[in-house]
Structure 1
Amino acid sequence: MSNAAYAQIGINTAVPIASLDIVAKRNDGSTAEGVLPPRLSGDEIKAGDPQYTENHAGTVIYASAAVRLPSPKTVNITSAGLYYYDGKMWQRMLQGDPKKLNPQFAGDIKNSVQPSDHNGWYLLNGRSVSSLPTTAKTSATGLGFTTSLPDATDRILKTRNGAELLGTQGGNNNMTITRSNLPDINLVGVVSGTAESAGAHSHASDEGGFLLGGTNVGNNGSGHYQGNGESSSWGGVGLMSSTSASGAHIHSLSGIATIPTGGIGAPMDNRSAYLVVNTFIYLGE
């Protein structure tokens, strides 16, 4: 009992070199060798959620199937495999590239030039969740996508701000300039004509003349008509071709000057130079 309690323990060896040292019983292939951890389904692991605390960090279990309705602790159990408890939730062991120890978890996002779904990564193209394989469907539902995946087509990724819902789509690639968006400047136009004259000038008649009374213009100098038998006698009484010269004065002028900009109201593309890639979400294999 003393040795079992305090000494190093060896299986198939009398000289253990670690706290627990397991040596293969045979090496000729005649027996199945290795360590077999407890095997439970994802739902069975979830049922034990209350039993796992921070003190159980490092616990290893083999999940024989994905959890159907994940809890916060089991959301990463998306397929069969080895999982370890990190003190808060179950993590899959060596998921992804084992040479880089680069694990992936349900909900991870990446950009890639891969053309289609691969190795548990699914295109964010707005597809229906019901069209996904069972494992991916379970992961998508656990992430809150119950109807369809977000559509990342022609969109950039934006970091969440405040109470924004993850997976929400918004914004527009094009913008249209309105009058309020224009700079605060005056567009100068030219109106043809004279609105003010600063010197003495005359106004000529384009109708033949100005008819005047009480003058001796065109009436033989007497101020009265004196016929002379000419057919133009009446037309010459008080008739002048222009007014008298006047001093400086102002003529009122009103009107609207329209100055076209030459625009056609086309929307502007507000995107910078870009590289086209696909966007994927990891939902498990």
Structure 2
Amino acid sequence: MKKFISILGLLPICFVCKAQVMITSGVPANPTPSNNAILQLYSENPNKGLLMPKVSLTATDNPSPFPNHLAGITVYNTNTSTVNNLTSVSPGIYYNDGVSWNRMEVQAPTVGDIKYSSTPDDHDGWYLLNGRAVSTLSSTARNNAAAVGFTTTLPNSTDRFLKAKSGTETLGTTAGNTSVTLTQANLPNVTYTNIVTQTTGAHSHTYNDRANGALNSTEGSTTQTVVDDGFTTLNTTSAGAHTHTFSISTGGSGTALNLQPKYLSAYIFVYLGQ
């Protein structure tokens, strides 16, 4: 009988209260299940956890070792499968959505990660890149800042776009301009000079000295007929050679071109830990 009692003492204690179930470890003085939980786990000593059933999955699209997919079922997978990169599995907790297995994981930030945010304040280990001295940060943030290359100050991201670091650049370097002024070297290789036309302009024109026949000539109130029977064809002289000179303006105002595209402003943070 004592042996039976001692075995029972090792079993968790279940309390049922209005359809709520609490599974406890140890014998708490007065455990009360939450009204919002169907099943609640409780440990008298805060050194216990929930151990998921361990199974060996083969692929996310394969329900094995279960006969079919069942939405809501959760397991710990122990297998590593690389049959297909799109359906491969690795050790971790998986839940089934009725169609396939999905790995449960939280994407935790890594020291040095950069992100945009709409809040201006430091939060949850994220520090605003505003040019402040590293010495003003917490000890953890100072150490992590130095580890990623920010030993004196944090970069100032005000009015800056992010770009990939080149091989010779120092991390956190700020440079560049929002506008540029073109110089002659930026223009096509064209030389503008004074232009003079050619002198080969000699030519002549043919004309009649007057019309052939009789014409009326009026002097005051008297009209008389003038007869001209000496009709001839005449030519102008060919001495018409000449030149014209004109210039092309090469001046300008040197107005700078704006390089900044349309944008949405936000705050830029670096993760330095908590």
Sort the TM-score into its range (normalised by shorter chain): 0.3 to 0.5
**Which structure is higher in strand share?**
2
